[in-house]
Amino acid sequence: MILAGDVGGTKVNLALYDFVNGNLKHTRDKQYWAKDYSGLEEIVKEFIVSEKITSACFGVPGPVREGRLRLTNLPWTLDSRELATRLKIDYVFLINDLQANGYGIAELTSEQIYTLSEGDARQMANRALISAGTGLGEAFMIWDGRDYVPYPSEGGHSDFAPRNEDEIDLLRFLKQKYNGRISFERVVSGQGLPNIYEFLREVRGLDEPAWLAERMAKEDPNAVITELALAAKSEICEKTLDMFVSAYGAEAGNLALKILSLGGLYVGGGIAPRILEKLKDGTFMKAFTDKGRLSQLLVNTPVRVILESKTALMGAAAYAEARAAELSGISPRAASVK
């Protein structure tokens, strides 16, 4: 049995996987609120009942160095060697969460992906992954002539690059709000929607009716903005989502150019599936392909939206099995093929 984890700043998702005829088989999973626990070890011990775990992998936010990571949003330090010893699991790995998503893509079926743009699907070339959720994650999937090898990055923290007057003024507004430098994550992530909404209300003067202000104060602002924008029931929410999706598409295009991801650009994270209808209306693709002399390169790049919420868990499980098999010479995936 393989243990997979997706560790975030607020939640930890754990799942158990086995293999049937070479394919991942999900056994069970559970979500935990990180603030209620002293560390990952405590959560894993609560999750595991009596299963024999052969290997484990956890996707974690941030750069992993020599099997070790200190989380920025939790007072936890994770060390793969210490976890292996304390949990009595022979092989424990820590990889970046976007890297885990990258490994998970190979495990997805066609029903778990929506194609925004076909592009030229014949190209065997690098791929890219951009993922807006709590933060903005970016990863590379480098084609080595045989496989796609995911590599993490912190590209979501690169400087926000405004493209028009609205975005220039948004940058000024956010620089004042945060008293300094603004990254793309301030615009394209869970904090981005409220930031854009506040800009449109305070700087552009778009109307916020009393009923809307009350909902924004009492409910999740991201959920309210998305609901009303998709239902076309609020001008300020519609404009907010429009600016958000346009900036999302622009940064996705930037990422695709940087690594020549002619093999495809994947849009992951929790936000994309919830705003899929908006992604379909052309706003994202217009910004994605608007790259001047290199626009045709982006037109030829396939763009796909990941619909499966467990992609990172699937990728972590696949990575755990593959790396443990390299070290031990025993492959549960290969053994399951009949």
* DSSP characters over 207-235: ---HHHHHHHHHS-HHHHHHHHHHTT--H
Q: Are residues 206 and 287 in the same domain?
A: yes
User: Could you tell me the two tokens for 309?
Assistant: 């919420």
Res 91: pLDDT: 96
Strands 91-96 and 55-60: parallel
Helix (H) or strand (E) holding 201: helix 192-202
Res 121: pLDDT: 84
- Residue owning tokens 């070339």: 125
Res 4: pLDDT: 98
Res 9: pLDDT: 77
Q: Are residues 123 and 161 in the same domain?
A: yes
Q: Are residues 208 and 73 in the same domain?
A: no
The verdict on residue 191 lying in a domain is yes
Q: Are residues 74 and 37 in the same domain?
A: yes
Res 338: pLDDT: 79
Q: Are residues 185 and 46 in the same domain?
A: no
99 Cβ partners below 8 Å, 6+ apart? Answer: 59, 139, 150, 151, 152, 315, 319
User: Could you tell me the two tokens for 38?
Assistant: 């002293």
The verdict on residue 101 lying in a domain is no
Res 177: pLDDT: 97
What is the 8-class DSSP label of residue 160?
A: P
Query: How much of the chain is helix, strand and coil, in % rounded to 5?
Result: 45, 25, 30
Interior CA angle at 241 toward 13 and 100, to 5°? 25
Please give the model's pTM, rounded to 2 decimal places. 0.93
The tens-digit pLDDT sequence of the chain (338 residues) is 999 999 987 899 999 999 999 999 999 999 999 999 999 999 999 999 888 999 999 999 888 999 999 987 788 999 999 999 999 999 999 999 999 999 999 999 999 999 999 999 888 899 999 999 988 999 999 999 999 999 999 999 999 999 999 999 999 999 999 999 999 999 999 999 999 999 999 999 999 999 999 999 999 999 999 999 999 999 999 999 999 999 999 999 999 999 999 999 999 999 999 999 999 999 999 999 999 999 999 999 999 999 999 999 999 999 999 999 999 998 989 999 87
Res 56: pLDDT: 97
Overall domain count for the chain: 2
303 Cβ partners below 8 Å, 6+ apart? Answer: 115, 116, 117, 119, 252, 264, 265, 267, 284, 285, 288
* Cα–Cα dist 225/118, whole Å: 29
CATH code for position 227: 3.40.367.20
Q: Are residues 123 and 265 in the same domain?
A: yes
The verdict on residue 103 lying in a domain is no
Q: Are residues 164 and 138 in the same domain?
A: yes
Q: Are residues 54 and 120 in the same domain?
A: no
User: What order of strands is seen across the sheet that includes strand 11-20?
Assistant: 23-33, 11-20, 2-7, 55-60, 91-96
224 Cβ partners below 8 Å, 6+ apart? Answer: 212, 215, 216, 237
Q: Are residues 160 and 64 in the same domain?
A: no
The verdict on residue 87 lying in a domain is yes
CATH code for position 30: 3.30.420.40
Q: Are residues 80 and 172 in the same domain?
A: no
Q: Are residues 173 and 299 in the same domain?
A: yes
Q: Whole domain around residue 203: which residue ranges?
A: 109-307
Res 50: pLDDT: 87
Q: Are residues 262 and 327 in the same domain?
A: no
The verdict on residue 283 lying in a domain is yes
